[in-house]
């Protein structure tokens, strides 16, 4: 059993990854512009905005066709609200509109994340602080730990 939390610092374009696995707590503070530890980067991605729309989680969303090597798939974004650099924790960080439906891969775990609702609220900055009981690790160590959670060894 584990929990993984990614906190994006949009001003500094950095992501902090906190992992609690079986009571062991580790944190990796990412470098500016890099994806969170364990998230797979897409290779040679091409985007095509289709103009087709759908409502996802109550948000008007536009479909974008993605070409990444031999893989092709769709993602959805919304312009219903604005966030500065909304996608820095994803491989779609060059897209300026918030994502509402998209695939992502954490280590060997392939997922599709879809918005089920939207609420605008102020979040206290204390929520984003790393607790003192987390041990700092390198990116390589964090990725090795994450990968080990998805293997049988």
Secondary structure in 3-state letters for 19-30: EEECCEEEEEEC
| Count of C-beta atoms within a 10 Å radius of residue 113 | 12
**pLDDT tens-digit map of 93-102:** 889 999 999 9
CA distance 44 to 77: 20
Query: What pTM value is reported for the model?
Result: 0.87
Predicted confidence at residue 70, as pLDDT, reads 79
Sign of CA dihedral 119, 79, 127, 39: positive
Predicted confidence at residue 153, as pLDDT, reads 59
Predicted confidence at residue 17, as pLDDT, reads 95
Q: How many CA atoms lie within 13 A of 96 on its CB side?
A: 2
Sign of CA dihedral 146, 125, 102, 47: negative
pLDDT 10s digit of each residue in the chain, 153 long? Answer: 789 999 988 888 899 999 999 889 999 999 998 999 999 988 878 899 999 999 999 999 999 999 877 788 999 999 999 888 899 889 998 899 999 999 999 999 999 999 999 998 888 888 788 999 999 999 999 999 999 988 865
């Amino acid at each position: 059993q584990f929990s993984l939390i990614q906190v994006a610092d949009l001003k500094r374009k950095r992501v902090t990854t906190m992992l609690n696995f079986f009571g062991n707590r580790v944190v990796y503070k990412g470098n500016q512009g890099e994806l969170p530890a364990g998230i797979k980067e897409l290779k040679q991605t091409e985007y095509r905005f289709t103009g087709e729309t759908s409502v996802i989680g109550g948000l008007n969303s536009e479909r974008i066709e993605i070409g990444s090597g031999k893989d092709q798939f769709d993602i959805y974004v919304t312009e219903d609200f604005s966030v500065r650099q909304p996608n820095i924790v994803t491989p779609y960080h060059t897209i300026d509109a918030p994502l509402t439906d998209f695939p992502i891969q954490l280590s060997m775990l392939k997922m599709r994340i879809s918005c089920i609702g939207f609420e605008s609220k102020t979040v206290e900055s204390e929520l984003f602080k790393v607790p003192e009981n987390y041990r700092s690790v390198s990116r390589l160590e964090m990725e090795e730990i994450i990968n080990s959670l998805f293997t049988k060894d």
